[in-house]
């Protein structure tokens, strides 16, 4: 099998702002300015980056798997995105290997959109900071299903763990 990767955009500029989390995440300096449409036809800002290397250039250590549906044909406002020539099942063993390699921390079953997996995460979910834990409990009382972000706390070859704390929620 041959795979062609096509990049959209130029190289990320080498400048101080690329190291500034406020500029990158809050100000969205490097995010696309294009507007997508949601399922109701309303404007949606995708918070994605079109640079050589894509969103991985602004890596936040969150390691979610693509969903099974992402590999099939998807109809959207702009037309049809064709199905991939491979399936989620083809990649599942590689996701599992990568989760081991990157020491991913998480809890299977918290995310209702999570695709099937052949193994549990290699490490348990990281506990929330006290304020995030309180928010998680508050969300649960409103019928939401808070979840821990799947985190890479120790890149391969590194002895220094990264310390990230965050939460997501689904209805």
Below-50 pLDDT ranges, the chain: 161-171
Q: What is the dihedral of CA 9, 15, 16, 22, to 10 degrees?
A: -10
pTM score above 0.75: no
In this prediction, residue 14 carries a pLDDT of 87
Digit-coded pLDDT (tens) for 90-117? 999 999 999 998 888 899 998 888 999 9
Q: What is the dihedral of CA 155, 160, 161, 164, to 10 degrees?
A: -100
What value does the CA radius of gyration of the chain take, rounded to a whole number of Å? 18
In this prediction, residue 171 carries a pLDDT of 41
Which three-class secondary structure string do you get for 22-66? HHHHHCCCCCCCCCEECCCCCEECCCCCCCCCHHHHHCCCECCCC
Domain boundaries, the chain: 23-59, 60-170
């Amino acid at each position: 099998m041959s795979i062609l990767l096509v990049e959209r955009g130029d190289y990320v500029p080498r400048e101080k702002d690329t190291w500034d989390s406020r500029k990158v995440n809050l100000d969205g300096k490097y995010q696309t300015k294009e507007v997508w449409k949601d399922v109701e036809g309303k404007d949606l800002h995708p918070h994605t980056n079109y640079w050589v290397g894509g969103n991985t250039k602004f890596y936040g250590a969150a390691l979610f798997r693509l969903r099974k549906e992402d590999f099939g044909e998807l109809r959207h406002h702009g037309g049809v995105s064709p199905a991939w020539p491979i399936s989620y099942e083809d990649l599942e063993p590689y996701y599992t290997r990568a989760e081991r390699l990157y020491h991913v921390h998480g809890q299977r079953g918290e995310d209702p959109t999570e695709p099937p997996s052949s193994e549990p995460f290699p490490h348990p979910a990281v506990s929330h900071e006290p304020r995030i834990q309180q928010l998680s409990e508050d969300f649960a009382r409103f019928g939401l299903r808070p979840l821990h972000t799947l985190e890479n706390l120790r890149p391969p070859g590194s002895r220094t763990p990264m310390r990230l704390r965050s939460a997501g929620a689904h209805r």
